[in-house]
Structure formats: C-alpha cells, structure tokens
Amino acid sequence: MTTGTVLGKPPALTPLLARGALLSPFKRPRPDAPFPRTRLVLPGLRVDLARLSAYERVCGFATGEDALPLTYPHVLGFPLAMRLMSGRDFPLPLLGLVHTSIGIRRHRALPATGTYELAVHVDRLAPHRRGTEAAVVTELRDAGTGRVVWESTSTYLARHRTTGEHSGAPAPGPQAPSPLPAVAEWRPGADLGRRYGAVSGDRNPIHLHPLTARLFGFPRAIAHGMWTVARCLAAHGSPEAAVVRAEFRAPVPLPATVVYAADASGRFELRSSDGRTHLTGSVTTAPA
C-alpha cells in the first residue's frame, strides 16, 4: 500500500548523494526485496528559469521560450527520486546505479512559468539478466486543475550476480532493424558529465571523472543517459502531446564521437562511428 508524504520544498541533493553513497556498501539487491511504498508529493512547484536556460544550452534545446523541454520534468523530479533511492529502505545501492530506459507521456505543452504539483514513487522491482531493476514513476500535475500533464517511468539497474533464467546472455530476439539514416555527428567532450550534472543535479560518480568511473567498472566517465535522449529530442523535435520511449543500450564513454540518426516515423538513435548503438528511441503524437 502506497502512503503519501507532502514536502515543503525540493530535497537538497548533496546530503542525499552522501547518504546514498554511505549506505551503498550495505545494500544487498535482489528483485524480491521490499522497497519503499511512499509517494513523495511537492505542491506549488515553480521552475527556476535560469537553471532551465542552462539545461537547455547543455542539451541543445532552444532557449528563451515559455515552454519546458520534453525531458525537463525528469530533472524536476530527480531530487524526489533521489530521496527515495538513497533511503535505508531502498534495496539497491545508489552508487553505480545505471539508468536503463525511460517512457514519457506529455499530455500538452508545459509553460515554463506555470505552477505544478510533482509526485514520485517507486513502482516495482524486477529481475534483469545483469542484476535488479527498479521502476520509478514521476507525475507532473497542473496546480490549477489537478490533471496530470506529464508522466514518466524510468528503470534503474543495479548490477550484481544473478542465477537462473535471468543470468547469462539475453534470450534471442527478433533481428535488429537496419540502422537509421545519419543526420548529424556530435563530439561530446570529457567534461560533459560534469556539465550535465551541474544543471540536472545528477552527480553519480560514473559520469564525473575517469577515476570515479573506474570504481564501478567503467574505464572512462560515461555520458548521462538522459543527456543522450534530451540531445536527440532537441534535434528531432516533438509534438505538444507526445509519447517518448527510449532505451539506453550501451554507455557513451567520454570524450566521444557519436552519430545521431533519425527517420520521418519518429524513430531515432545514437551510435558510435564504428556502428555500436548507444540509444534507441521514438517520439510520436500521443493518442487523444
């Protein structure tokens, strides 16, 4: 049963990151572990327009418009998600947690100057061939009408040894579709993780520096998954009522040279110059 907790202001991220880091070595992740059933609610939310503008510049969105980019409510909800995932009752270690997918539905355009209510909860845990995934749901409501105007489900993977049917190689699936036509080449620099972390608040060590990334098995710092999908959506564009689905297939080591590819159906992807796919996704008009 989910219980509601109303917050007076967004949680401060630095102490949450510190708490999550300190508790991580004591976590024993498994898909059948109990997890927090609290729904955190932040009413009366107003967007910091200076921070929004900085985010838009890092991700390639147009600046100066009275509109939230399609991915920005995820940033607004991140401190609430962090409060849940850094707690003692969250079974996955925060350090090294990898964002594996996101599904977004925006019901209408979102004015940057609007007032909103934000809510976040952990929906479920699930087995993954490389460990355990948690699904985190974020909802943004119009403060005046109470209607949901934006919602998302993100999955986060804690890597650990697995046994049984979920271990080893993935089951064979349908043949991968042909690569999408290349549209642009991007060269994210070694400092991208720090730049995106500054505007999003996500300062997971795997994104910040090669030395901290190596502690979690990555030879170099890797780009945030949400930067990759935001950058693709900034280039692709999206309807006011939109559905986005994206899977983070492989990390983007920094610095990198990546190819953005897309087609007229709304599919997009990000791949390296040698053809390795890092991100696949789609953006379509939401059904009425």
pLDDT in tens, 238-275: 999 999 999 999 999 999 999 999 999 999 999 998 88
Determine the straight-line distance between the first and last CA of the chain, rounded to whole angstroms. Answer: 31
Q: What pLDDT is stored for residue 177 in this prediction?
A: 67
d(CA 154, CA 77): 11
Q: Which tokens hold the place of 205?
A: 């060590």
40-56 burial code (b ≥16 CB/10 A, e <16): bbbeebebeeebbebbb
Query: Which residue in this structure is represented by tokens 């999408």?
Result: 180
> Pairing mode, if any, of strands 115-128 and 131-142?
antiparallel
Which regions in the chain score pLDDT beneath 70? Answer: 1-2, 164-177
Q: What pLDDT is stored for residue 167 in this prediction?
A: 44
- Number of C-beta neighbours around residue 180 at 10 A: 18
The CA dihedral of 224, 200, 91, 213, to the nearest 10 degrees, is: 40
Q: What pLDDT is stored for residue 97 in this prediction?
A: 85
Which residue intervals of 86-224 are DSSP H helices? 192-200, 210-214
Q: What pLDDT is stored for residue 171 in this prediction?
A: 46
Contacts of 216 (CB under 8 A, 6+ apart): 95, 96, 205, 206
pLDDT in tens, 219-236: 999 999 999 999 999 999
